[in-house]
Amino acid sequence: MKFATKAIHAGVEPDPTTGAIMTPIYQTSTYVQEAPGKHKGYEYARTQNPTRNALQAALAALENGKHGLCYASGLASIDAILKLFKPGDEIIATNDLYGGTYRIFTKIYSNFGLKFHFVPMQDMASVEKYINANTKMLWLETPTNPLMRLIDIQAAGTLAKKHNVLLAVDNTFATPYLQLPLEMGADIVMHSVTKYLGGHSDTVMGALIVNDDELAQRLAFIQNASGAVPGPQDCFLVLRGLKTLHVRMQRHCENGRAIAEYLAKHTKVDTVNYPGFSTHPAKNQMRDFGGMVSFTLKGDDWDEALRVMSSFHVFSLGESLGGVESLVTHPASMTHASIPKEERLQSGLKDTLIRLSVGIEDIEDLIADLQQAIG
């Protein structure tokens, strides 16, 4: 199937009982057994749920993977990955990444003996010097959050295989509509499903997609043993959201490009971070460039940045991204506040950086909102 067809049909079948075209919400904790150990494939809802199974199959299909696993949040899915490792193991991560990821790495798992290196990954050759006998995984986002830098997934995959370490890619910003990390050498693809896959700002969820059977079994064991699973209602909402992923993402891409081009010409705007402007070779791994844009204002004035963010009418000030509605976020005080200021500044994340999640509204309304807010 082509992507648009998979988005609507992959992983789901008509309900065998009624023929319902939409997957039912199996709102149950318990399944009745005919005899001890004799059941219909379902024992307990933390372990299996038909609605969740359908979503996991759909997500695997969209990423061209074999196994999908869903978790209660994006961070719960990262938590599951980190439970693959033991004290003394080391992980190399991009230095430009989501603040919640940095927080769980440094504030939770570093206390359990894992060691993390945060390094620039635009030149993958420079990453190799950080790899040693204890290195177990490379962790990257591309485009990065919030500076929209690109990382070459194929080069990272080659490096990971050379040293027999896992490669995990946070594909939240791009979604499988724009890039397919498993096909470029990734072992694990992670999503904050809360964002574009759900697409309507009405659910919180995470997901992992893998090809390796043994790795899938280990992650499924952690999923069940730790219990951070999503409920069937949330799974239903994401299944519904996936059916319009391709059309939503295309409009996000169109609007995102128009906003980036507008900001690049604005006399009060200093820098604009947008993957479509990149000259990095990894630009070729994406089919388009999404709806995420960040920018700074000339003068880098904190109060002026706050004034702009408080002046929007169509863009809503709030955390998160990827919904049909446009959002504006201040990473330094919101999504990336857990990263120490000196580390943020070192990676290029200024205090006055403004991040836009460009929605699917009419582009003329969005540009007019930017005009009146920035002045």
Instruction: List all residues 6 or more positions away from 320 whose beta carbon is below 8 Å from its beta carbon.
Output: 194, 195, 201, 327, 329, 357
With a pLDDT cut of 90, the percent of the chain lying above it is 87
Is there a catalytic annotation at residue 98?
Answer: yes
pLDDT band at 344 (very low <50, low <70, confident <90, very high): confident
Report how far residue 361's alpha carbon sits from residue 324's, in angstroms, rounded to the nearest whole number: 8
Within 13 Å, how many C-alpha atoms sit on residue 12's CB side? 27
Q: For the ranges 98-107, 239-248, 303-312, 346-355, which has the lowest average pLDDT?
A: 346-355
Torsion of CA 260, 59, 98, 154, to 10 degrees: -80
What pLDDT, on a 0 to 100 scale, did the predictor assign at position 325? 98
Does position 49 have pLDDT exceeding 80, yes or no? yes
Average pLDDT, the chain: 95
Angle, vertex CA 307, rays to CA 364 and CA 325, nearest 5: 40
Question: For residues 93 and 135, what is the distance between their CA atoms, to the nearest angstrom?
Answer: 11
Q: Considering the chain, what percentage of its residues have pLDDT values greater than 70?
A: 99
Rounded to an integer, the average pLDDT of 127-145 is 97
Let me know if 26 is a catalytic residue: no
| pLDDT value at residue 85 | 98
Q: How would residue 368 be classed by pLDDT, with cut points 50, 70 and 90?
A: very high
pLDDT of residue 330: 85
34 or 67, higher pLDDT: 67
Q: 303 and 314 in contact (C-beta within 8 Å)? A: no
Angstrom distance (rounded) from CA 374 to CA 141:
29
DSSP state of 293: E
**Of 120, 137, 184, 134, nearest in space to 158 by CA:** 184
- Helix, strand, coil percent values for the chain (each to nearest 5): 40, 15, 45
Indicate whether 339 pLDDT > 80: no
Residue 187 scores a pLDDT above 80: yes
What confidence score (pLDDT) does residue 340 get? 77
- Tell me the pLDDT band of 138, cut-offs 50, 70 and 90: very high
Residue 271: how many other CB atoms lie within 10 Å: 16
**55 and 235 in contact (C-beta within 8 Å)?**
yes
**pLDDT value at residue 207:** 99
Return the minimum-mean-pLDDT range out of 94-103, 183-192, 230-239, 363-372. Answer: 94-103
Residues 203-225 as b/e (b if ≥16 CB within 10 A, e otherwise) read bbbbbbbbbeeebbeebbebbee
Looking at the chain, the number of H-run helices and the number of E-run strands are 12, 12
pLDDT value at 338 more than 80: no
Angle between helices 50-62 and 232-242 (to 10 degrees): 30
Looking at per-residue pLDDT, the higher value among 343 and 371 belongs to 371
pLDDT at 145: 92
Give the model's pLDDT for residue 170: 98
The stretch 43-58 carries a mean pLDDT of 96
Q: Are 359 and 324 in contact (CB under 8 A)?
A: yes
What does the alpha-carbon distance between residue 83 and residue 250 come to, in Å, rounded to a whole number? 36
Looking at residues 363-370, what average pLDDT do you find? 98
- pLDDT of 323 higher than 90: yes
Q: Each residue of 194-206: pLDDT tens digit?
A: 999 999 999 999 9
More confident residue, 333 or 56: 56
Active site residue 170: yes
pLDDT computed for residue 38 by the predictor: 86
Residue 333: the pLDDT is: 73
**Alpha helices by DSSP H, the chain:** 3-9, 50-62, 74-82, 99-103, 153-162, 175-178, 213-226, 232-242, 245-265, 302-309, 341-346, 363-374
Q: What is residue 300's predicted lDDT score, i.e. its pLDDT?
A: 87
Residue 128, CA distances (Å) to 124, 155, 282 in order = 7, 11, 18
Mind listing the pLDDT tens digit for each residue in 14-31? 998 899 999 999 999 999
Q: What pLDDT is stored for residue 270 in this prediction?
A: 95
What are the CA-CA distances from residue 269 to residues 8, 88, 141, 297, 331 (Å)? 40, 45, 26, 4, 17
pLDDT over threshold 80, residue 341: no
* Catalytic option among 6, 52, 149, 195: 195
In the residue annotation, 107 being an active-site residue is answered as no
Query: What per-residue confidence (pLDDT) applies to 350?
Result: 76
Predicted structure pTM score: 0.95
Predicted pLDDT at 345 = 72
Please check the confidence at residue 351 and state whether its pLDDT lies above 90.
no
Q: From the candidates 71, 98, 109, 262, which is the catalytic residue? A: 98
Q: Which candidate in 79, 170, 234, 369 is catalytic?
A: 170
Q: What is the pLDDT of residue 248?
A: 98
pLDDT reported for residue 343: 77
